[in-house]
Amino acid sequence: MEMKWVYWGKLYNTKFQASCILKRIEHDAWVYGYQDPSEIEIFRSRTGRYGIRFTN
53 exposed, middle or buried (CB, 10 Å; 0-12, 13-18, 19+)? middle
Bigger pLDDT: 19 vs 5:
19
**The length of the chain, given as a count of residues:** 56
Residue 12 has pLDDT above 70, yes or no: yes
Confidence at 48, pLDDT banded by 50, 70, 90: very high
pLDDT digits (tens, 9 = 90+) for 14-37: 999 999 999 988 887 767 666 667
Confidence at 50, pLDDT banded by 50, 70, 90: very high
Closest CA to 39 of 56, 19, 22: 56
> What is the pLDDT, as a whole number, of residue 3?
75
Q: Residue 30 and residue 39: Cα distance in Å, rounded?
A: 14
Q: Domain spans of the chain?
A: 6-44
